[in-house]
Structure 1
Amino acid sequence: MGIKQIYKKERLDPGILSILINPYYFIKKNLIAGLRRNSDYVHGIALDFGCGNRGYKDLFATKVNVGLDIKKSGHNHSSENIDIYYDGKRIPFRNESFDSIISIEVFEHVFNLEHILDELNRVLKPGGNILISTPFIWEEHEQPFDFARYTGFGMQHLLETHGFSVINIQKSCGFIETIFQIWNSYVYKKLFCRSKLLQLISIPLLVFPSNLIGTLLAFILPKSKDLYLNLIVVAKKNSSIPSRR
């Protein structure tokens, strides 16, 4: 595996080396760990809602994984492996088509989320699970299609009023890690030069100390999750509530 491949892997799925070179070490490490902890809830025929480049697909042992996205978004889909595009209003599948649904870092980009929750409920089989992650603290991104941030209480209320029962809600990253991750993102985006070669040299010099200090302080100092980066939510479709049409 070449240097570029190693660098790309550590950016997407952080290992030990990632603490040296990954400016998104905290958010990626904790998000992927949280998704893995809940991966057993995803099975059978699964819908990946807002799939993008499907970077998390391999975390789930699904029989079939269908990628759905919208053409009008904040980034270019040309290099992404999307199965079906939809119009942002109606998900183009029959009622009760899927055993599971995943939606990773998508809900903040959905302006009409209550309507889309009805649609997700409609295409999910009774008793089927939905696994969601969405940011709580993060910079605006994919502008102008960044519409919202959700607390655990808000997300639970939305799901429960649209035909789901919440199984668990987890907060990804604590107070200290969140602060260091936001700092890393600022440094990476605003202070690093455009040259890829100079980035490879400068990233370890700036990112590694921040990742290391943040990790040590998060271990030593009192824990708090009043400030966090992401929510990871698992909910089940209520069997007693008919699919909305």
Structure 2
Amino acid sequence: MLASLKTYYQRQMMRPGFVGLFVNPFYFARRELFHAVRELSRDINGRVLDVGCGTRPYESLVAAREYVGLELDTPENRRTKNADVYYNGHKLPFEDRSFDAVICNQVLEHIFEPDAFLREIARVLKAGGKLLLTVPFVWDEHEQPRDFGRYSSFGLAALLDRNGFRILRHAKTAADVRTLFQLANAYLYKVTVTRSAYANLLITLVLMAPFNLLGTLLAWLTPGNQDLFLDNVVLAERA
């Protein structure tokens, strides 16, 4: 029973539904990211590489013949055992043109040399291969000190273009008043988080769930704004 509840709770953290409104302090960010990735991942298939795979939250969304999770070779990543392959953070340990598609989810902001990183991704992709890339535009610093950038839609487009990628689709998540409420909740979470999961859940219910509900309501009542959003979600093709 407890294991089932834990699994359900973890799902509400990454793919929040109605319950996520009340228990997920990152409800708008995670929900919108999931929906955008689900929509754009329909063209991801074949042999797929997930660069910086983390917990592999979107693996089930793609029709992969083979799904390879890649992570930095660190003691923490070795301990979690979510990745299939570990590397040094520079050269991808794969042959040229060995993948049909690459997923890179919320990783690019942690890359100090993004051009070199994207050239490596282009190298291991087949001609015409797809890149599904997500990266923040507005978010607080995280995983410090390895947090090096935020990307406007135009900056990201230029970066991809000069490294051999053509954008097929580009989505902006929570491009409305929800961005403001999500940032407020991110602030509240950071200044109130404790070591107790139960205390954190109670704090979320009391302080952050009201912002999730109010943000949802106001998003229906107020106009959107494509100039202010949380994340870029891009489907691109290797030239």
Which of the five TM-score ranges fits, normalised by the shorter chain? over 0.9
Structure 1 residue 53: deviation in Å?
Answer: 1.9
* Cα 1:177–1:80 shift into 2, 3 Å: farther
Structure 1 residue 79: deviation in Å?
Answer: 1.0
Q: Which moved more, 1:78-87 or 1:132-141?
A: 78-87
C-alpha separation between the residues in 2 aligned to 1:207 and 1:13? 17
Q: Deviations over 1:40-65 (max 9, x none)?
A: 12100011111122122112121101
TM-score normalised over the length of structure 2: 0.93
C-alpha separation between the residues in 1 aligned to 2:155 and 2:206? 40
Where in structure 2 are the equivalents of 1:143-154 lying within 5 Å?
143-154=144-155
C-alpha separation between the residues in 2 aligned to 1:4 and 1:68? 26
C-alpha separation between the residues in 2 aligned to 1:69 and 1:139? 23
C-alpha separation between the residues in 2 aligned to 1:229 and 1:205? 24
State the AA in 1 paired with 2:55.
Answer: N
Where in structure 2 are the equivalents of 1:22-37 lying within 5 Å?
22-37=24-39
Q: Give unpaired runs (5+ residues) of structure 2.
A: none
State the AA in 2 paired with 1:88.
Answer: G
Other-structure match for 1:114: 115
**Partner SS for 1:180:** helix
- Contact 2:109 2:147 (8 Å CA) reproduced: yes
Where in structure 2 are the equivalents of 1:166-181 lying within 5 Å?
166-181=167-182
**Partner SS for 1:62:** strand
Q: Which moved more, 1:161-170 or 1:130-139?
A: 161-170
Where in structure 2 are the equivalents of 1:1-245 lying within 5 Å?
2-71=4-73, 76-77=76-77, 78-238=79-239
State the AA in 1 paired with 2:37.
Answer: L
Q: Deviations over 1:93-127 (max 9, x none)?
A: 11110000100000001111101111111110011
Q: Give unpaired runs (5+ residues) of structure 1.
A: 239-245
What is the total number of aligned residue pairs between the two structures? 236
Query: Identity over the aligned pairs, expressed in percent?
Result: 39
* Cα 1:69–1:210 shift into 2, 3 Å: same
- Identify, as 1 or 2, the structure richer in helix: 2
For the aligned residue pairs, the C-alpha RMSD in angstroms reads 1.5
